A = this chain, B = another copy of it.
């Protein structure tokens, strides 16, 4: 029996390659799907089925891409009305080598969510694994807010029922295979531990310790952000995304070629660190650090403009391209390495102020006119912040720019400085001129022993 969990880092998206004898199934394939084909070749098996647990919101599903390359058949749940693949019935069974697969309808996160349980018939009929998609995670459960306010209570109740009446009855002994690990936007409190069983969740998952009423109340009142790109993902995954067969191959550009594409309305993403970005960057570029791309690119990047990259190193290129490709950004035209070639050509650069927390403290004590803008999430702000700061989540700056005063010196702070750099780059694009980034953010502030306000 073959069992491989494939972690698409950044998205913390987990897909599964499960095989027996010469056959295999893939659960929720990612879009850069060569990895499944490579495993199939190496293990000498044929991919028969692709099972989707639900219409995903946070990434482009790779089912169509993989189906075209392998001839595998795609299966979905009963909602929404997918434009490709086959619709499953609750309880439908499949055989893959010595494995028996049961499709289980587990609505809640969405009305069409499916789980897939696997029995190894050489041992017996008891389920070994269950792939639970966004229904049940390690220490967390799925979001129930995608249907809007009016449906949220009903979806939350469905989720409770799916977990307690459909999944847990499979038995404590079943190994849990969720669609996301720690770090995903689809579940804020997913544990860092990757391994669990239904029994462990029954015993220790905080949500599963609540009564049905408590569970529903908590799910209805949770706060989640919905980045704008989710709408594109929903559309793609409903209708079938473009099938590219290969990753985009952006080219190394000269500064002149780069600027020509900028003049044609290309958007620039700079993945260097906040100090490097702050010291010198191309006018109009977004500062998004490498690991932040899956979480924040979807807040600011458009789908109808070319994308250009400023990278620290060439060997980051593939990772950046994979991150963007998984979110449906296919028009990645080119890149430059650092800004050295740029300034050597005497092309103009912008900079941001860079403040250590010591600098910030001094400035706050001295200057009346310094605005301190905290761009962390509502939860983070609510738990603690610096007195006198104002708050606007980094994802909302573009939309709610009018909430921020324009003529003052502004210092942007977040947890460690990365989101602050993105926030500052957005402000600078909007015409703000005296913008500073606090290096090290709230963590450095607290490490320095400075006072914070807790609510």
Chain A interface residues (CB < 8 Å from chain B): 1, 3, 44, 120, 122-124, 126, 128-129, 139, 171-175, 191-200, 202-204, 252, 272-276, 278-280, 312-313, 315, 338-340, 343-346, 348-349, 351, 354, 356-358, 416-417, 439-441, 443-445, 447-449
B440 and A346 contact, CB distance less than 8 A = yes
* Residues in B whose Cβ lies below 8 Å from that of A344: 416-417, 440-441, 443-444, 447
* Residues in B whose Cβ lies below 8 Å from that of A439: 280, 343, 349
Given known pairs A349-B356, A349-B439, A354-B280, the reply for A195 and B129 (CB within 8 Å) is: yes
A196 and B417 contact, CB distance less than 8 A = no
- Of B128, B191, B197, the residue contacting A120 (CB under 8 A) is B191
B252 and A445 contact, CB distance less than 8 A = no
Interface of A is mostly: loop
Given known pairs A195-B128, A273-B338, A278-B279, the reply for A203 and B173 (CB within 8 Å) is: yes
Q: Which 6 pairs from chain A and chain B are nearest by CB? A: A173-B199, A279-B279, A346-B448, A172-B172, A343-B440, A275-B279
Closest partner residue, chain B, to A197 (CB atom): B173
Counting every copy of the chain, the complex holds: 4
* Residues in B whose Cβ lies below 8 Å from that of A129: 195
Offer 15 A-B interface pairs, CB within 8 angstroms, sorted by A: A1-B195, A122-B193, A128-B193, A173-B198, A173-B199, A174-B199, A279-B279, A312-B313, A313-B313, A340-B416, A343-B417, A344-B444, A345-B440, A345-B444, A346-B356
Tell me, in angstroms, the Cα distance from A173 to B124 when the chains sit together: 18
Among A123, A139, A194, A449, residue most surrounded by chain B Cβ atoms (within 10 Å)? A123
Given known pairs A120-B193, A279-B279, A349-B439, the reply for A203 and B126 (CB within 8 Å) is: yes
A345 and B172 contact, CB distance less than 8 A = no
